[in-house]
A and B are shown apart, each in its own frame.
Chain A
Amino acid sequence: MMGSVEIEQTPFDKKFRGIVEEYIRESNKSIKIVTGEISAYNYFDLRNAVEEAAGRGVKIDVYASGPHTDIINRLIHHKINVFIGDRDPQEHFMICDERKVIVSVKEKNRTKRIGVIKDTANEVRKYMDMFEGLKKNARKQRILGKDPLLAALNHPI
């Protein structure tokens, strides 16, 4: 148990992403994510980790406020539940196995988001409740529209 620890900032968020990837790979029961546009999914390292976790049976729920349709479709295709809501909370976070949380927050006077790891039962409960609250008012998504590759093949550049 470490309580609350701020993740050291490194170029290209290497340390933060490394910890996120490690936590995803270590999860064996559930992952709950709250984010905005799910832009972290564009990172090949994190995308692979989350898709492989879903592949080994980890239940993954993602709440987001404004992701692109292609991202939503790809997540659902990999058996990841996507919920879209109107609120983009200041804190984005990921709860792994209901045991630890990584929070990404944009603090005042800082241009970048900072990452904080929290693993006390109270903190985890707080974020679990926050997730459930957001999910309650969100819409569960299903695959919509044409796959982007098929679209590109029909309209090549």
Chain B
Amino acid sequence: MRLDGVLALRTGAVIAATVATAVLLSAALSGLKFEQKLGEIAASRLTVIADEMRRRVEYGLTLGLDLSELVDLQAQAERAASGGEILGVEVVDDHGIVLFAADRNAIGHPSPLAKPLEHAGWAADGTLRERIDGDVLVISSGVRNSFGQTVGEVILRSSLAGLRERVAAVEHGLLADLLALVGIAVIATFAAVYFVVQRGGGRRGLAAGTAPLSVVQDRLTHGIAEADRALDELERELDAMALPKAALP
């Protein structure tokens, strides 16, 4: 009985540990995947805004105006930046100088966000580029003139803090549920393992698979006797060969 208990406890502990790890790993994977997907949706929403701004800029360029001459862009930038969680919208020229921005103080200065495409951290998709700096998502859309030359960029910055707060709140609630689930799973595992060990595979089950002691003893005796016979045979052969010294040539 003691052996069955030890067996059930140890095997139950192994299975319970695996189940708990698998549950937490599954939840962590789900969390990461969902958070990533949520981020993608948020980014795609902001991309729509940046892309629309770019289209308007390019429409202006087709009229033959220079980028710096599209003065209505200032109002558009301010309007676009009025959306919740959007920190700023800038239109920069091909040297990275801010031409229009929701933050008027930035105008005329080089934008720290206007970097070459190969700059580390940017994920590029066509003319769109995306980067996450801490809690800030930066989306940049290249502006091209009628000849296909890149003449500037529309850069949009948005805060991810709100999204992350909402995710953290959900994860907090989820963690409590998961711990409860792990607890139930562990108890269920121990119960199931104890049942299996007791009913089928415990000491009784193992004893059932092992022959009775007398049979084991018989098998051992039989095996040893077989070896003894082979050894006897060889011994006889060797004895027959071990002739007296006088008989040797």
On whether the two chains bind one another, the answer is no
